[in-house]
Structure 1
Amino acid sequence: MSIVDSIKELFTTNLRQSGIYIAFVAIIAFFAWRTDFLSLGPQNLTNLILQYSYILILAIGMVIVIIAGHIDLSVGSVVGLVGGVSAVLVVRNGMPWWVGILAGLLVGAAVGAWQGFWVAFVGIPAFIVTLAGMLLFRGLAGLVLNNISLGPYGEPFTLIAQGFENGFLGGHGYDAFTLVVFALAVVAYAWSQWRARQSRLAYQQSVQPLPMLVLQVVVVGAVVMWFAWRLANDRGLPYVLVILAVLIIAYTMVTQRSVFGRHVYALGGNRTAAALSGVKVKWINFGVMLNMGVLAGVAGLVFSARSNAAQPGAGNMFELDAIAACFIGGAAVTGGVGTVPGAMVGGLIMAVMSNGMQLMGMETSPQQVVKGLVLLLAVAFDVWNKRRSGAVR
Structure 2
Amino acid sequence: MLGNFLKSNVRQYSMIISLIFIMVLFQVLTDGLLLKPLNITNLILQNSYILVLAIGMVLVIITGHIDLSVGSIAAFVGAISAILMVNHEIPTFVAVVLSLIIGALIGAWQGFWIAYVKVPAFIVTLAGMLLFRGLTMIVLEGKSIAPFPESFQKMSTGFMPDVFGGSGLHVTTLMIGIVLSVLFVLGEISNRKNQIKHSLDVQPQGIFLAKLAATVIILNLFTYSLALYEGIPNILVILALLIVVYRFFTNRMKAGRHVYAIGGNEKAALLSGVKTKKVTFWVFVNMGVLSALSGLLFAARLNAATPKAGNLFELDAIAACFIGGASAYGGIGTVPGAIIGGLVMGIMNNGMSLLGLGIDWQQGIKGLVLLAAVAFDIYNKNKAS
Shared fold by TM > 0.5?
yes
- Superimposed CA distance per residue, residues 252-273 of structure 1 (whole angstroms, 9 cap, x where no aligned partner): 0001111111000000000110
Conserved? CA contact 2:85–2:149, under 8 Å: no
- Residue 160 of structure 1 aligns with an amino acid whose one-letter code is M
- C-alpha separation between the residues in 1 aligned to 2:101 and 2:264? 31
Conserved? CA contact 1:63–1:343, under 8 Å: yes
The residue that corresponds to 1:79 in the other structure is 74
The residue that corresponds to 1:239 in the other structure is 234
Conserved? CA contact 2:5–2:203, under 8 Å: no
Conserved? CA contact 1:10–1:18, under 8 Å: no
- Residue 29 of structure 1 aligns with an amino acid whose one-letter code is V
The residue that corresponds to 2:100 in the other structure is 105
- Superimposed CA distance per residue, residues 42-66 of structure 1 (whole angstroms, 9 cap, x where no aligned partner): 0000000001000000000000000
Conserved? CA contact 1:85–1:103, under 8 Å: no
Match of 1:274 among 269, 277, 298: 269
**Aligned positions of 1:265-304 closer than 5 A:** 265-304=260-299
Matched, 1:348 2:322: no
The residue that corresponds to 1:371 in the other structure is 366
Matched, 1:116 2:115: no
Match of 1:186 among 181, 186, 193: 181
User: How many residues are aligned here?
Assistant: 385
Conserved? CA contact 2:74–2:295, under 8 Å: yes
Matched, 1:96 2:99: no
Shift of 1:107: 1.1
DSSP 3-state at the match of 1:19: helix
The residue that corresponds to 1:176 in the other structure is 171
- Superimposed CA distance per residue, residues 151-182 of structure 1 (whole angstroms, 9 cap, x where no aligned partner): 01031000000000132212242101111112
- Residue 130 of structure 1 aligns with an amino acid whose one-letter code is T
- C-alpha separation between the residues in 2 aligned to 1:188 and 1:310? 40
TM (norm. structure 2) is: 0.98
The residue that corresponds to 2:128 in the other structure is 133
- C-alpha separation between the residues in 2 aligned to 1:9 and 1:227? 32
Instruction: Give the unaligned 5+ runs of structure 2.
Output: none
The residue that corresponds to 1:215 in the other structure is 210
- C-alpha separation between the residues in 2 aligned to 1:387 and 1:263? 25
DSSP 3-state at the match of 2:130: helix
The residue that corresponds to 2:145 in the other structure is 150
Shift of 1:188: 2.0
DSSP 3-state at the match of 1:206: coil
- Residue 322 of structure 1 aligns with an amino acid whose one-letter code is A
The residue that corresponds to 1:253 in the other structure is 248
- Residue 103 of structure 1 aligns with an amino acid whose one-letter code is L
Match of 2:326 among 310, 331, 334: 331
The residue that corresponds to 1:385 in the other structure is 380
Matched, 1:27 2:43: no
Task: Using the TM superposition, name which of 107-116 and 166-175 deviates more.
Answer: 166-175
- Superimposed CA distance per residue, residues 226-252 of structure 1 (whole angstroms, 9 cap, x where no aligned partner): 010000000111000000000000000
Matched, 1:309 2:304: yes
Shift of 1:213: 1.7
- C-alpha separation between the residues in 2 aligned to 1:191 and 1:17? 22
- C-alpha separation between the residues in 1 aligned to 2:103 and 2:326? 24
Conserved? CA contact 1:83–1:300, under 8 Å: yes
Which segments of structure 1 move beyond 4 Å, counting only runs of 4 or more?
none
- C-alpha separation between the residues in 2 aligned to 1:345 and 1:364? 22
- C-alpha separation between the residues in 1 aligned to 2:165 and 2:204? 40
- C-alpha separation between the residues in 2 aligned to 1:15 and 1:121? 36
Conserved? CA contact 1:55–1:318, under 8 Å: yes
Conserved? CA contact 1:89–1:99, under 8 Å: no
- C-alpha separation between the residues in 1 aligned to 2:115 and 2:28? 49
- Residue 388 of structure 1 aligns with an amino acid whose one-letter code is K
Identity %: 50
Instruction: Give the unaligned 5+ runs of structure 1.
Output: none
Shift of 1:10: 5.0
- C-alpha separation between the residues in 1 aligned to 2:108 and 2:177? 36
